[in-house]
Amino acid sequence: MWLDCAIIGGGPAGLNAALVLGRSRRHVLLFDHNRPRNAVTHESHGFITRDGIPPRRFRELAHQDIAKYPTVTIKPDKAIEVTPYYGGFRIKTSNGVWFQARTIILAAGLKEFLPSVPGIQRFYGRSLFSCPYCDGWELRDKPIAIISESANAFHSAKIVYNWSKDILVCTNGENCLSEAQQGQLERKGIRVNRHRIRELVGENGMLNRIRFENNAEVKRTGGFISPRWDQAVSFGEALGCAMTSQGGFVTDAFGRTSVRGVYAAGDSSIIAPTQLIIAAGEGSKAAIGANTDLTNEDFYN
Ligand SMILES: Cc1cc2nc3c(=O)[nH]c(=O)nc-3n(C[C@H](O)[C@H](O)[C@H](O)COP(=O)(O)OP(=O)(O)OC[C@H]3O[C@@H](n4cnc5c(N)ncnc54)[C@H](O)[C@@H]3O)c2cc1C
């Protein structure tokens, strides 16, 4: 049987796309192997009516909403191949089963690479975060570290300044701030440490202090880091979708990529800003795009 749409990825983008397509009476399979980027965190913020919700609970509620629509199935499986097939697409899962779909929504999110600081994973999602709009409120007025090895260091410090004036920028040995930027930061009382970080010290993911290679130690109870992001899956590139210079998909306002029948939504589509509510909205737009195109195809044939 041909599906109307196969959705790759069951984060807020894919889940909201499934909801809208189910309500549009479309036959949909959503593939998800449940490894979202925010799995490390205990609470998600900034989604109206869901502020502070644990990510796992958010998914449970989404699955409950989708269960009301009989033409949508969530398959807890990994998609490993997506190829063009008789005007539509073929999807192979990790257990070797093939499915056919008229359209595809790519919503697999991003994989991220944290700054090269020993043990940083232990603190990520507990006291170190990547987005001040998501977690800045919880760190307000605290002694904050910005750990960034990239050109994002200056921007990050400037934005976080609204949540706390006690900021130390740690470049971890990289030369990522210009003289002018460093001067601007110092005029605002923001300090810069250019040494490599030897160790992050704290318990249960809660940062307490940072130890540098020159043995200096600074008390910091939380902060923000600048990860590097890549597409979680390479299906889009393999299908020939045009990509932006930032590594996201080139799409129109309804998630249509440059390849007919392929739509993109969520983090993987926009790269930044990355938020649950934005990803969910993107999923809704891609679903409307796919449903419109399927309707046009059928209505005039
Ligand atoms: C530490 C941290 C804290 C955050 N806090 C907040 C917050 O407080 N508020 C907020 O709004 N945002 C927060 N975010 C950002 C938010 O998590 C993302 O913007 C959002 O989850 C993106 O949704 P998505 O659907 O695009 O991707 P994801 O949520 O990453 O979901 C992608 C899904 O696709 C699945 N997948 C990937 N490849 C395949 C495949 N081949 N086959 C099947 N399934 C696949 C993955 O397993 C995953 O379940 C946070 C992010 C991080 C890292």
From atom 50 of ligand 1, which residue's Cα is the shortest distance away? 38
Distance 112 CA to ligand 1 centre (A): 11
Instruction: Divide the 301 residues of the chain into consecutive groups of 10 and give the mean pLDDT of each group.
Output: 97 98 98 93 96 97 98 98 98 97 97 95 97 97 97 96 98 96 97 97 98 96 95 96 94 97 93 91 98 97 84
Helix (H) or strand (E) holding 157: helix 152-160
- Which pLDDT score is estimated for 273? 86
- Ligand 1 pocket, 267 CB below 6 A? yes
Domain boundary assignment for the chain: 2-111+229-299, 115-225
- Ligand 1 pocket, 58 CB below 6 A? no
- Which pLDDT score is estimated for 185? 97
- Which pLDDT score is estimated for 200? 98
- Which pLDDT score is estimated for 229? 92
- Which pLDDT score is estimated for 144? 98
CA atoms of 18 and 214, how far apart (whole Å) = 53
CA atoms of 37 and 39, how far apart (whole Å) = 6
Is 115-225 the same fold as 2-111+229-299? yes
Which of these, 290, 280, 170, lies nearest to 224 by C-alpha position? Answer: 170
8 A C-beta contact, residue 113 and residue 30: no
Q: Does domain 115-225 have CATH number 3.40.50.300?
A: no
CA atoms of 100 and 3, how far apart (whole Å) = 6
What topology does CATH give the domain 2-111+229-299?
FAD/NAD(P)-binding domain (3.50.50)
Distance 50 CA to ligand 1 centre (A): 16
